[in-house]
Structure 1
Amino acid sequence: MLIKNLLYPNQDAIDTVVPLSASALEAAIELAKIQLLGLQNQQGFWVFELEADCTIPAEYILMMHYLDEIDPVLQSKIANFLRGQQNPDGSYPLYKGGAGDISCTIKVYYALKLAGDDILSPTLLMAGEWIRAQGGAAQANVFTRIMLAMFEQVPWRATPFLPVEIMLLPKWFPFHIDKVSYWSRTVMVPLSILCSYKVKARNPGKIGVSELFLIPPDQEKNYFSHVKTPLGKAILLLDRLGQRLESFIPDGIRRKATAKAHNWFMARLNGIDGLGAIFTAMVSAYEVMDYLGVPADDPQRQIARAAIDKLLVVKHDSAYCQPCVSPIWDTGLAALTLQEVDHQASDPQTQQALATALHWLAGKQLRDEPGDWQIQRPHLAGGGWAFQFGNSYYPDVDDTAVVAVAMLQAHDQIFAENIQRAGVWIAGMQSRNGGYGAFDADNTSYYLNQIPFADHGALLDPPTADVSGRCMMLLSQLVKQNPQYQAIIDKCIAYLRAQQENDGSWFGRWGTNYIYGTWSVLYGYEAAGIPRNDPGIQKAVIWLKSKQHSDGGWGEDNLSYHDASVRGEADTSTAFHTALAILALLSAGETQSPAVESGVQHLLKTQQADGFWHDDSFNAPGFPKFFYLKYHGYDKFFPLWALARYRNQRFVKVAEEMQHDGS
């Protein structure tokens, strides 16, 4: 706490705004920078743990028992992890500190029971009582009920109709896999085979969870009671009709559809990085390979399993499974952070780290590889980056914008072609409404969220404000060389103005939540040169300042995805949200603001002895309301980025101006 003592010799006054010491600020930046540099891989990338809720590690245990491929030591470590995540009321939440979720709790209960826990053990006893109090396991979501059907715990009528024949539907049909998001199609295609053939888990111990049901599963009639809307009920009627008529599907049609689905996901297996590079899709594909008789020693099957196991985080006495990994995203953001840190200093170590990182990123650009995005943009050349180490069919718009900006800021002609390709690709991925989705353009068939399979409400990848702000950040820096981008930028600005909330904030689809979204847009506005007295910017500034805590920090709970009245609010401050708020205010020209200064002081006070910060909270949604993530890097590089940018604007810029005036 050396920095804190330098700034606050009077401990009783730490919550007051006092003049900042430039030397103390510099010392804090240097300490965090050294630590961040120390975490860089020798190849040049950064990758931090990406933690999800307990459904993912629970599903890993379920997968082992589904296939009868059980590793007792690993299972024991995952079970130890799961036991430690339980809420005091016996439930399991979707994010730390959140309310219990019945589907997550059911999966953890089943996984721990498969791992050998007795139903009278404290963990299962409390979880079971909580599940029954919520109406029992019949209230689980669709994905959980499909798992229960494969383990023969519920009848298949408890699941939505997902026939493999969806692969044969024409593109004009109301449902087609090209009309849903990348993550949906990579999960649905192999899963449709498992559901069509009603594949059964091996479940060597024949362990079930009948004790979690209030009504025997075969007698339960309300598996779809959650469907409330007229459109949803109409689609459900067609779904139920389809199930009754399934037996009339000719065998030849089913074989043809199965072959097409198999060929589709096998072409996208993605080597050691796995189908879609996401856990749920990888597991479905691996289980289908087993069902179709691919032998255990087959090289493709072995690689598919290795891709799943690469997601494990194994420690001495516990383990969990990540939903995916984030090296491109982590490296791009770390590079932007270090560029801000080294804005004036040109430290050789930092410059070498940046050069290594950017060259590694350059080698990961997807150029002319096939991608599902080409369905919407068949004539658009490649040029994007994925989110993971490898995901050639699915480059990420957000990652591409961040990486290309980092390359632009390097001012090195060696990256000129990378940047040019990225700009063309980003410009071409704009949706008709002016915004940007994460992986697809115009992925907006909203009626599909009414199908029974989509009870998570995240079947699509529509444009969002946060991604759009970062795309504008890139294109605005390229427009001088490419004037044709101005029309695209103007259209994006119009979209963002329409997306601003009445209170001045913007929604954050890929980070928690309105503070994240507001930072993203204000960063893009700054790059686009929108005047800082713009009413939309000023409204956002007022909103951000109104959400600052008395300790100088900011925080936002994932509850804001469920209840918009608490947007921008949390019981405690986090380094992540404090950093985002500072960065957003700096983009809005609030360098001299007391709010910014007290936010910087909060970061200095909460910096740990190792130079980093520590937030327990989950800081991003996978799917808002249903699936949340914790990026373990966010409380490391975002606070450093904020401190460096503040220093550069408050101290370095002032010194430059004084020097200029003196000359």
Structure 2
Amino acid sequence: MTLARLTAYKDEQLGSPEQGGAIRQASGQSLNRAITAAEETLIGRQFPDGHWCFELEGDCTITAEYILMLHFMGELDAELEGKMVRYLRARQDPEHGGWPLYFGGHFDLSCSVKAYFALKLAGADPGEPAMVAAREAILAHGGAAKTNVFTRFLLAQYGQIPWRGVPMVPAEIVLLPTWFPFHLSKVSYWSRTVMVPLSILYTLRARARNPKRIGIRELFTTPPERERDYFPVWSWRNRVFLTLERTGALAEPLIPKRVRERAVHRAAHWFIERLNGENGLGGIFPAMVYAYEALSHLGYDRAHPYRIQAGRALRHLVVDRGEEAYCQPCLSPVWDTALACHALTESAGGRPPAAAVRGMDWLKARQVVGTEGDWRADNPRLTGGGWFFQYDNAHYPDLDDTAMVAGLLNRSGDSDRHEAQVEHAVQWVVGMQSSNGGFGAFNADNTRYYLNEIPFADHGALLDPPTSDVTARCLGLLAQVSHPGCDDALRRSLAFLKDAQEPEGPWFGRWGTNYIYGTWSVLEALAEAGVDMNQDWIQRAVRWLKTVQRPDGGWGEENDSYFRPERSRHARRSTSFQTAWALLGLLAAGRGHSTAVRAGVDYLLATQEPDGTWRDPWFTAPGFPRVFHLKYHGYTHYFPLLALARYRSHTGRGA
């Protein structure tokens, strides 16, 4: 495929600059038709057992890593590999020659190295124009030695760089006492589930089978064995940690064999206990793939139940589109089902229709009410009551899903039927509040920021600190119920959110892109809490939303704003989901009859597809800001419906 042909995907997805510009008036008739069409489409996507699960697409890193995993394990699948190759080729950027972290994004070195390596393993000719363009771009950005930690681990396992080119992650980390500066309980859940199986691969110096014996030496500006600059230094604290870590690496051969064997055994026991059946370790691809590879190097053969479960968990993530296939980073059924039910309940006037009732029944069965879970390390007396994000992930319920689901059940109009579930959820949420008044996603007070300075943490996402969007969701739930401790939790949450507001008015969106998402989340929560929305600090947020509205009436914000916050004002296109978030925020602030809201509604009406949904190529959220990004395909189904339905209920239009 030539670079000229590579422009087709981007052009097709973007459309013309004028697309969506022919705005029509939001008459009651057209509004009702739009809502009905969106309802029908959403209900049509419901599974027979009542839940929803839309595609959750990551950047090309995940699909490239899937191909690399097949070659690591020696389990080649030519048909699937060919489909994934077509997926990767179609997303190579024709302008910079590499691969971005999200649609329309800038060149990313680590993603590009993995994609190039995957294509070469799959048989791509290094001399073809697309591969040449990618190679030139990689070399121009410093070559494969300058990639991030996770990419260098992969390169070490494939024998492309020496093991001294990766940080020391020995299995002995599982033996460290809780008082030690580093302990598994002091990092985020995703870091834990990734680091433990990876520590086994590091300790065993695991080597990829690589049956075709393919390498990428051509991607290095200096021969990798002579490279002396594998570790960037980003702060004086990092320099101190790097010095300590490199000293420790030199002393690693002195670790007694008995201690090493004990550490590997305990690390294996830790992650096997959390394997999570066919839903996978932590329910996330990076942890799942390291677990699968670690099981192999620990001696579990292909027929062993652990290997079978771990392999199936990875295959469950694959989306096969016929000509193309890609690997999802995880699955999102609980999140999708809760939001779909919220949208359908809103469009039905506040009383859940039959489809939403079936969805809520499916959700109720997935509440984790016992004392299982890593969150108990800091809350040993707290009883569980949360929901997880995936089909099953009982060790790791999260506060965002819990607040979303419990709030849905509480507003269902049948509160007596759901009283026990809501009570358990509220008790758990109150107990998981951090000391600064905010809420993290999976843990309380996961704020040992010095750990983001260790060499392993070059992605800057080792921790799970409180964020505005999750805090807002929890605030919204607590404002609906009466529970011991709620008043104090509400007061502290409000103080956290007020302090977290950006000077210009918006809030940062950790789990959705970006300031529009954060601002909607907070404004809606403040309204649910009965806060006076005319206060100046809240009106600053309202004014900010109005100033970033685009000429076509919609709102848009690209993931560039995670790199440069000022980019929040310079989106190339409006999107349906961000327009919906902005509308929901303004409606919460009592601006339902404003010109801005009317224009946003008109934008959604004008851009709705004939099948009742909306289509946007833009990614919707970060996995880790600036490192890994996501596209929730369900966001164009339920968020616009929710916004239009709420506009109708707030203004009486279309009645």
Aligned residues: 635
1:340-381 Cα shifts (integer Å, max 9, x gaps): 10016x6xxx61111110000000111105100001111111
Residue 114 of structure 1 contacts residue 207 of structure 1 at CA under 8 Å; is this kept in 2? yes
Residue 369 of structure 1 contacts residue 392 of structure 1 at CA under 8 Å; is this kept in 2? no
Tell me which residue corresponds to 1:371: 373
Shift of 1:423: 0.6
Residue 278 of structure 1 contacts residue 323 of structure 1 at CA under 8 Å; is this kept in 2? yes
What letter is aligned with 2:533? R
1:91–1:140 CA distance, 2 compared to 1 (3 A): same
Shift of 1:569: 3.7
Cα distance in 2 between the residues matched to 1:575 and 1:600: 10
Tell me which residue corresponds to 2:55: 49
Tell me which residue corresponds to 2:282: 276
Shift of 1:122: 2.3
1:483–1:240 CA distance, 2 compared to 1 (3 A): closer
Residue 311 of structure 1 contacts residue 324 of structure 1 at CA under 8 Å; is this kept in 2? yes
1:202-233 Cα shifts (integer Å, max 9, x gaps): 11111000011111001011111x21311100
Tell me which residue corresponds to 1:600: 601
Corresponding position: 1:294 with 2:300: yes
> Which of 466, 470, 473 is residue 469 of structure 2 equivalent to?
466
Unaligned 5+ segments in structure 2 are 1-17
Cα distance in 1 between the residues matched to 2:485 and 2:82: 58
Tell me which residue corresponds to 1:438: 441
Tell me which residue corresponds to 1:398: 400
Tell me which residue corresponds to 1:583: 584
Residue 241 of structure 2 contacts residue 453 of structure 2 at CA under 8 Å; is this kept in 1? yes
Cα distance in 2 between the residues matched to 1:321 and 1:482: 42
1:593-648 Cα shifts (integer Å, max 9, x gaps): 10000000000000110111111000100000111000001011101100000000
1:135-177 Cα shifts (integer Å, max 9, x gaps): 1111111100010000000001100011111111110111111
Residue 165 of structure 1 contacts residue 258 of structure 1 at CA under 8 Å; is this kept in 2? yes
1:222–1:39 CA distance, 2 compared to 1 (3 A): same
Secondary structure at the aligned position of 2:362 is classed as: helix
Cα distance in 2 between the residues matched to 1:19 and 1:182: 47
Cα distance in 1 between the residues matched to 2:192 and 2:569: 33
1:340–1:163 CA distance, 2 compared to 1 (3 A): same
What letter is aligned with 1:239? E
Residue 513 of structure 1 contacts residue 568 of structure 1 at CA under 8 Å; is this kept in 2? no
1:342–1:316 CA distance, 2 compared to 1 (3 A): same
Cα distance in 1 between the residues matched to 2:304 and 2:507: 49
The percentage of counterpart residues that share the same residue type is 51
Secondary structure at the aligned position of 2:70 is classed as: helix
Tell me which residue corresponds to 1:357: 359
What letter is aligned with 1:397? L
Tell me which residue corresponds to 1:316: 322
Residue 46 of structure 1 contacts residue 334 of structure 1 at CA under 8 Å; is this kept in 2? yes
Mapping of residues 583-662 of structure 1, within 5 Å: 583-651=584-652
Cα distance in 1 between the residues matched to 2:21 and 2:52: 34
Secondary structure at the aligned position of 1:69 is classed as: coil
Secondary structure at the aligned position of 1:520 is classed as: helix
Mapping of residues 418-433 of structure 1, within 5 Å: 418-433=421-436
Corresponding position: 1:485 with 2:491: no
Secondary structure at the aligned position of 2:631 is classed as: strand
What letter is aligned with 2:586? L
Residue 90 of structure 1 contacts residue 127 of structure 1 at CA under 8 Å; is this kept in 2? yes
Tell me which residue corresponds to 1:119: 126
Tell me which residue corresponds to 1:82: 88
What letter is aligned with 1:39? R
Tell me which residue corresponds to 1:5: none
Residue 337 of structure 1 contacts residue 637 of structure 1 at CA under 8 Å; is this kept in 2? yes
Shift of 1:568: 4.7
Secondary structure at the aligned position of 1:552 is classed as: coil
> Which of 117, 125, 128 is residue 110 of structure 1 equivalent to?
117
1:518-556 Cα shifts (integer Å, max 9, x gaps): 000001100100012111211101000000111100000
What letter is aligned with 1:64? L
Residue 371 of structure 2 contacts residue 383 of structure 2 at CA under 8 Å; is this kept in 1? no
Corresponding position: 1:27 with 2:33: yes
Shift of 1:16: 9.1
Cα distance in 2 between the residues matched to 1:638 and 1:547: 19
Cα distance in 1 between the residues matched to 2:25 and 2:281: 53
Shift of 1:123: 2.2
Q: What's the Cα RMSD here?
A: 1.4
> Which of 138, 142, 150 is residue 135 of structure 1 equivalent to?
142
Higher mean Cα deviation, 455-464 or 196-205? 196-205
Shift of 1:482: 2.1
Corresponding position: 1:385 with 2:392: no
> Which of 180, 185, 191 is residue 178 of structure 1 equivalent to?
185
1:27-46 Cα shifts (integer Å, max 9, x gaps): 11001101100000011111
Higher mean Cα deviation, 420-429 or 405-414? 405-414
Secondary structure at the aligned position of 1:58 is classed as: helix
1:642–1:176 CA distance, 2 compared to 1 (3 A): same
What letter is aligned with 1:650? T
Corresponding position: 1:219 with 2:222: no
Higher mean Cα deviation, 559-568 or 519-528? 559-568
What letter is aligned with 1:548? Q
Cα distance in 2 between the residues matched to 1:559 and 1:315: 28
Secondary structure at the aligned position of 1:522 is classed as: helix
What letter is aligned with 2:292? Y
> Which of 414, 418, 423 is residue 417 of structure 2 equivalent to?
414
Corresponding position: 1:95 with 2:102: yes
Residue 515 of structure 1 contacts residue 568 of structure 1 at CA under 8 Å; is this kept in 2? no
TM-score by length of 1: 0.94
Tell me which residue corresponds to 1:187: 194
What letter is aligned with 1:443? N
Tell me which residue corresponds to 1:303: 309
1:390–1:18 CA distance, 2 compared to 1 (3 A): closer
Corresponding position: 1:229 with 2:235: yes
Secondary structure at the aligned position of 1:630 is classed as: strand
Tell me which residue corresponds to 1:246: 252
TM-score by length of 2: 0.95
Unaligned 5+ segments in structure 1 are 1-11, 656-663
Cα distance in 2 between the residues matched to 1:45 and 1:407: 15
Residue 22 of structure 2 contacts residue 606 of structure 2 at CA under 8 Å; is this kept in 1? no
Secondary structure at the aligned position of 1:414 is classed as: coil
1:244-276 Cα shifts (integer Å, max 9, x gaps): 101000000001111110100000000110000
1:46-72 Cα shifts (integer Å, max 9, x gaps): 100000000101001101111101111
Secondary structure at the aligned position of 2:623 is classed as: strand
